[in-house]
Amino acid sequence: MKTGLGIAHGRNDERKETEPQALSECFDGRGGGIHDGCLLGCCALSDAADVLTRAKVTPDGCVAVFGCGSLGLVETNAAQLCGARQIIAIDVLPRKLDWAREFGATDTIDASQAESADAVSVTTGSTMADFAFNFSGSAVAINQTVGIVHNGGVVVLEGAGLPGTQLVVDQAELIDNEKVITGAHAGGGIPLPIDRFRAGTFELDTLVNHRLSLEKVNEGFDLMTRGEARRSVIVFGA
């Protein structure tokens, strides 16, 4: 990406070849097609690892997922595999809430119709969530996420907002209520949960609902912008 001050390379770009770190390398080992394996990088297992390693979701815990795009769906699936007793999916698009149910959500909240903290309180019987994951990147939504966990609860921020987005939280939430707010990026890498992918317990194939040729890459971006893609995969040579 050219900024005028040299070449800036962020987390993602478009290129024909790349040199990965050993931490990012893995072997499927199941045979068959490899196209959906690209999700092992920035989407599927790397974000599932945040449930396993960053938040350390416990069996019988209550998990809230704020934002049900592909990353939120992966976290929902991972929380289910951890044995969470209640998984609450929160989004403003009914379509995405339907997807979340497919991936293991026990309850859904339309954030465009109800205030999130009040709705979570009703859904949990006033006990609130033990763990909450936010994928929106919105400062308003982040503050709402802090409000849906109980005292001592854990909030994990994963959605990348615009540069300069400020997080404003009442200090009482952190001091008096002892809530923990942390960020996460890839949860420590791919190798940790790869065995679960090989065993077929992660809904990797189901996550992809569009497979496109390279010539239709812009269509993939449009599908994502309209909220119609769980995940789109470019299939070279298609």
CATH annotation of 47-188: 3.40.50.720
Per residue in 144-202, pLDDT tens?
999 999 999 999 988 777 778 888 888 888 899 999 998 877 655 555 556 666 666 66
On the CB side of 43, how many CA atoms lie within 13 Å of its CA? 20
What pLDDT score was predicted for residue 145?
Answer: 92
* Predicted model pTM: 0.82
**Cβ atoms of 43 and 75 closer than 8 Å:** no
Cα 164 versus chain centre, distance? 21
CA distance 103 to 41: 19
Model confidence at 3: pLDDT above 60: no
From residue 89, give the alpha-carbon distance in Å to each of 131, 136, 225.
12, 13, 20
From residue 137, give the alpha-carbon distance in Å to each of 194, 201, 215.
27, 28, 30
Closest Cα to residue 153, out of 57, 229, 84, 224? Answer: 57
At position 219, the amino acid (one-letter code) is: E
107-110 and 180-183 as β-strands: parallel, antiparallel, unpaired? unpaired
Model confidence at 127: pLDDT above 60: yes
**Sign, Cα dihedral of 57, 189, 104, 138:** positive
Name the residue ranges covered by the structural domains of the chain. Answer: 47-188
Average per-residue pLDDT in the chain?
Answer: 81
Cα 123 versus chain centre, distance? 21
pLDDT band at 32 (very low <50, low <70, confident <90, very high): very low
Cα 74 versus chain centre, distance? 6
**Count of beta carbons in the 10 Å neighbourhood of residue 94:** 12
Model confidence at 39: pLDDT above 50: yes
In sequence order, the 6+-apart residues with CB closer than 8 A to the CB of 104 are: 76, 77, 79, 80, 87
